[in-house]
Amino acid sequence: MMYRQPVLKNRRTLLERAEKFISDVYFTDCNLRGRLYGDSCPLESLASFLSSKRIPFTEAAKQNFAPHKVGDTFGPTWWTCWFKVSLKIPESWRGKEVHLLWESDGEAMVWRDGQPVQGLTKEGEKTSYILSECLKDEEPHSITLYVEVACNGLFGAGQGSMIAAPDPNRKFSVQKAQLVVFNRDVQEVLTDFEMLVDIVKELGEGEQRGYQALFTVNEMVNLCDPSDPRSFSKARSLAHSFFSQRNGESQHTAHAMGHCHIDSAWLWPYEETIRKCGRSWVTVIRLMEKNPEFVFTCSQAQQFQWVQSWYPGLFSQIQDYVKKGRFIPVGGTWVEMDGNLPSGESMVRQFLEGQRFFNHEFGIVCKEFWLPDTFGYSAQLPQIMQGSGVSNFLTQKLSWNLVNTFPHNTFFWEGLDGSKVLTHFPPGNSYEMKGKVEDLVKTVKNNKDKGRANHSAVLFGFGDGGGGPTQLMLDRLERVQDTDGLPKVQASTPDKLFSQLRADSALLCTWTGELFLELHNGTYTTQAQIKRGNRRCETLLHDIEIAGSLALCRDGTFQYPAEQLQKLWRLLLLNQFHDVIPGSCIEMVVEDALRYYEDIQSDGAKLLKEACGALGSKGNAAGVFNSLPWERQEVIQIQDGAGEPAVALVRVPSIGLSRVEDTQPVTPVSVTKQADGSVLMENGILKMVINKDGTLASLHLINANREAISNGCHGNQFVMFDDVPLYWDAWDVMDYHLQTRKPVLEVVQPIHVVSSGGLRSSVSFTLRISDKSTIKQEIVMDAMCPYIKFNTEVQWAESHKFLKVEFPVRVRSPNATYEIQFGHLQRPTHRNTSWDWARFEVWGHKWADLSEHNFGVALLNDCKYGYSVHENTMTLSLLRAPKAPDANADMGTHHFTYAIMPHAGSFQEASVIQSAYNLNFPLRSIQCSPNTIPWSAFSVSSAAIILETIKQAEDRKRALVLRLYESHGSSVTTTLCTTLPVREAWHCDLLERHDPTQPAHMTSEGITLTFSPFQIVSLLLIL
């Protein structure tokens, strides 16, 4: 390069000179930025119509629009203001690029000729709608557009801070609406400048390449006269020669993919998300038309389905670009769900519904799971992915860890059963990069697998609230495809990236077990009603599918409710989105989510009734249906002859039904009130002493002669903590909250006996938490039952408090066990290392267990997910009271049940897993014919194998899909017995695709199955 004269090596003045030359704040009267726009011209007219609802265009266009002045305010929050924009482009602008410049609050969509054409948001750096790239005389000059402005920003409408509850009365305005001449040549040279200035800054003083950029950009200022566009080309060619100085062969490659993370609901309701998808994706299509290299990755089948029904024209354009391989559906799931809380079967359904949708609409099956933004990842995900046709995984959230830095960016992730998936965390630590030099430099510098992995993803585009990529981001990346000092940049696809990574994966490391996020651990507990809705609906759909499948076989006229079930499943899966089930959403979303759960429960109850009716041959005798794969003998609530509530002890075979025939227990439950006010209860298995305040003084396992409660301690101790996190209120509980522990001691009503029958006995008591909150609890002991139930009602009106219940137990073990999806895992009970103490609050599903050799205690629950076991104290997290983003989170009345189960032997031998299922899946009362004999459809010979799911096959009417898993962590060969007329049995994957070379092994006893630890097996049974 030739410079006009030697320059002083004064980095600061030269750099700042270049920065001021493109500043949008300083010297815009004489700098280059000030020349970006040429002439402007007002609109012919602007008129508006305000709507409280989100209405379709056709309805909006029919309304009466009133004149609107720029600067007039409109609102409030969540309303929509439609604008009718009439404009006339001056003929004298021929040959110019003409934009409608629109700067307003809120998120806008431009409609033209009845079609959505462009999203506009100031926050997402989109304020221009291009009317003409080069105005010609024959183009229309008089145009009418509509602009639909949603009264919410990209991040909702938080008052004060982003995550604060929305301000319901926010006012909005349009600040600029006019026609302008856009000087594309100025924009191009500005982008050259910006990239070079950023290279100077990012490479710093340690690298000579930074100085080369500095002198180049300084010379460009010398050459460039803002008032004379003819001078730009010299500056541009100088920039071009810098950008085209190429890298050596060893340089890292950044795989640039456009992306737009759209939370399916978060700081805005579901309904707004539909419009966010429309605005973001139509903008992507506009960019694709202009940039033939541009590739966009897009997840969440649900969002595609929304766009399909709300914006059919846009959807068909998307389909065209999917065919071209440029608009790429990714992830394979219905939504980007939470990675911890959904059940195993729910996770399977996320993939089943997602992959089937993508296959049906686009003819593709996603090969990667895509979950950049959720709060931890279950150790069963690798197996579920592999079973769903997915062998690659992309996320980055573990970069948010508060304590430990995760040691890899590219590695094999090995799940609970040994399944492995190739996993990539984009080292830029973001799913919404902007194509800036900083993003590229970080991508290389942060890569923890330097020397092992030489390819990384760069996902660019505004995200979380949508928005997506901009032309500027594409222009930036286009300049530095191979620029010495920066990674190589190529427009890429997930497929290309993962193929490259796999091709040179010889040196990659393996991470085994869960990917635990050391942050956001309050999300296992926040919004308790959502958690409860999820668990209840998961169990309900499980039961409907099993009852429906059995009814299908027993009653030739029964129609399996496939369509209705799909509808209900999709609602449940939607609520598992990673800001809904974790409880990190605003109140409006909570209301929607709870309404969806009600819909599932009321529609589901009808479906279950129909299926059970068919199953019981519509008789009029009282019967019981058992949806679990083992025989159960339990006390259930029934109505006696006079219609009064009563209890009965019933025995029902595995996945089957029987009449209610009251049997007598081996040992009835006895209740004795003792002189000191405590109560002694005993059922032949357990003997328990309950103090006046409801705590357990003693819990004795009779046959083993073992006391479960730690010496001098009380079980069932409620405790309160101050719960003030550092920022993310609904999300975070911090380690220091443990120092604020206060037992709940104030007794309002001491224990009194509620029922003292031989089958079921219970006591009840009431505690005061504060002057605003109380706990009322019934402690229930059933005949023949190995656990004690705690039916709990809490009136909760606290602020930044955390309620838990503790069981200090007489067990010593360095590890506790927690149920996860289709299995369990262990976590430490000590705090040796930073990796141990970062897990002070963890998640589990229906049970957690603390065992030493030959004895242990399990803590079961029916709708909770937060646990901690420290030393010998087992704690279940019950309720939180965060104030943002939902100021009323968790206020009100809560019902939940947990249970304590001391046991001899291991938890596997003691049937802890089965007990937790029993607690969650109550026996269902049905009507059956009086001559019904006990009937079982399926049973499994090994207690380690759980037959979790029975459903009608998606693609075949007279066929069932069964899902079983190994739950003990053992290798097992077992027989699945059935009384159903099975003609053929095949192994299939989680997407129900059967392999014609893999028939299941059928014998006269049943189907022989072999399992490795925690293996999931799916079968297709042809009836």
Given a contact cutoff of 8 angstroms between Cβ atoms, the answer to whether 794 and 720 are in contact is no
- Nearer to Zn ion by Cβ, of 253 and 584: the residue is 584
Q: How far is CA 976 from CA 252, 564, 653, 950, in A?
A: 52, 29, 15, 13
Question: Which member of 72, 185, 373, 482 is catalytic?
Answer: 373
Q: How far is the CB of 851 from Zn ion (least distance, A)?
A: 37
- Closest by CA to 502, choosing from 386, 410, 369, 406, is 410
User: Of 172-180, 287-295, 370-378, 707-715, which part binds Zn ion (CB under 5 A)?
Assistant: 370-378
Q: How far is the CB of 256 from Zn ion (least distance, A)?
A: 21
Q: How far is the CB of 464 from Zn ion (least distance, A)?
A: 6
- Nearer to Zn ion by Cβ, of 372 and 808: the residue is 372
Q: How far is the CB of 262 from Zn ion (least distance, A)?
A: 8
Apex CA 763: angle with CA 758 and CA 768, to 5°? 170
CA-to-CA distance for 532 and 950, rounded, in angstroms?
23
Q: How far is the CB of 370 from Zn ion (least distance, A)?
A: 12
The question of whether 373 is a catalytic residue gets the answer: yes
Task: Decide if residue 400 touches Zn ion (CB under 5 A).
Answer: no
Torsion sign, CA atoms 136, 139, 144, 150 = negative
- Nearer to Zn ion by Cβ, of 263 and 345: the residue is 263
- Nearer to Zn ion by Cβ, of 265 and 422: the residue is 265
Q: Residue 854: left (phi > 0), alpha (psi -120 to 50), or beta?
A: left
Site string for Zn ion, 260-299 (x = CB under 5 A): ---x------------------------------------
Strands 788-796 and 801-808 turn out to be unpaired
Q: Residue 290: left (phi > 0), alpha (psi -120 to 50), or beta?
A: alpha
- Nearer to Zn ion by Cβ, of 464 and 693: the residue is 464
**Structure tokens given for 746:** 């104030």
Q: How far is the CB of 443 from Zn ion (least distance, A)?
A: 21
Helices 471-479 and 270-290, packing angle to 10 deg = 50
CA-to-CA distance for 763 and 788, rounded, in angstroms?
12
- Nearer to Zn ion by Cβ, of 186 and 515: the residue is 515
How is residue 910 annotated by DSSP? T
Cα dihedral value 795, 796, 802, 803, nearest 10? 0
Q: How far is CA 790 from CA 708, 793, 862, in A?
A: 16, 10, 10
Q: Looking only at residues 238 through 267 of this chain, which bind Zn ion when binding is defined by CB under 5 A?
A: 263
Q: How far is the CB of 264 from Zn ion (least distance, A)?
A: 8
**Structure tokens given for 974:** 């077992």
Q: Looking only at residues 106 through 135 of this chain, which bind Zn ion when binding is defined by CB under 5 A?
A: none
User: Of 172-180, 366-374, 525-533, 827-835, which part binds Zn ion (CB under 5 A)?
Assistant: 366-374
Which residue number places its CB atom closest to Zn ion?
373
Q: How far is the CB of 474 from Zn ion (least distance, A)?
A: 23
Q: How far is the CB of 463 from Zn ion (least distance, A)?
A: 8
- Nearer to Zn ion by Cβ, of 432 and 782: the residue is 432
CA-to-CA distance for 624 and 653, rounded, in angstroms?
10
User: Of 57-65, 76-84, 367-375, 719-727, which part binds Zn ion (CB under 5 A)?
Assistant: 367-375
Count of Cβ atoms closer than 10 Å to residue 114 Cβ = 10
- Nearer to Zn ion by Cβ, of 373 and 482: the residue is 373
Q: How far is the CB of 518 from Zn ion (least distance, A)?
A: 18
**Structure tokens given for 643:** 């219609």
CA-to-CA distance for 704 and 854, rounded, in angstroms?
9
Q: Looking only at residues 794 through 823 of this chain, which bind Zn ion when binding is defined by CB under 5 A?
A: none
Adjacent-strand bridge partners of 468: 462
- Closest by CA to 1018, choosing from 980, 987, 995, 976, is 987
Length of the chain measured in residues = 1023
How is residue 796 annotated by DSSP? E
User: Of 96-104, 108-116, 365-373, 903-911, which part binds Zn ion (CB under 5 A)?
Assistant: 365-373
- Nearer to Zn ion by Cβ, of 78 and 577: the residue is 577
Site string for Zn ion, 740-779 (x = CB under 5 A): ----------------------------------------
Given a contact cutoff of 8 angstroms between Cβ atoms, the answer to whether 659 and 622 are in contact is yes
User: Of 155-163, 372-380, 637-645, 917-925, which part binds Zn ion (CB under 5 A)?
Assistant: 372-380
Q: Residue 866: left (phi > 0), alpha (psi -120 to 50), or beta?
A: beta
Q: How far is the CB of 265 from Zn ion (least distance, A)?
A: 10
For the chain, give the longest Cα–Cα distance: 106
Q: How far is CA 673 from CA 178, 748, 764, 765, 818, in A?
A: 83, 19, 13, 14, 36
Q: Looking only at residues 452 through 491 of this chain, which bind Zn ion when binding is defined by CB under 5 A?
A: none
- Nearer to Zn ion by Cβ, of 373 and 599: the residue is 373
Given a contact cutoff of 8 angstroms between Cβ atoms, the answer to whether 715 and 726 are in contact is no
Q: Looking only at residues 30 through 59 of this chain, which bind Zn ion when binding is defined by CB under 5 A?
A: none
- Tell me how many residues contact Zn ion (CB under 5 A): 2
CA-to-CA distance for 619 and 621, rounded, in angstroms?
6
Cα dihedral value 831, 725, 818, 965, nearest 10? -140
Q: Which of 373, 555, 707, 836 binds Zn ion (CB under 5 A)?
A: 373
Q: How far is the CB of 263 from Zn ion (least distance, A)?
A: 4
- Nearer to Zn ion by Cβ, of 107 and 263: the residue is 263
Q: How many CA atoms lie within 13 A of 974 on its CB side?
A: 22
Given a contact cutoff of 8 angstroms between Cβ atoms, the answer to whether 455 and 501 are in contact is yes
Q: How far is the CB of 528 from Zn ion (least distance, A)?
A: 22
Given a contact cutoff of 8 angstroms between Cβ atoms, the answer to whether 534 and 581 are in contact is yes
Question: How many Å separate Cα 609 from the centre of its chain?
Answer: 31
Given a contact cutoff of 8 angstroms between Cβ atoms, the answer to whether 763 and 779 are in contact is yes
- Nearer to Zn ion by Cβ, of 123 and 373: the residue is 373
- Nearer to Zn ion by Cβ, of 337 and 565: the residue is 337
CA-to-CA distance for 601 and 607, rounded, in angstroms?
10
Locus of tokens 């290309």: 496
Task: Give me the active site residues, please.
Answer: 373
- Residues lying near Zn ion in the complex (CB under 5 A) are found at 263, 373
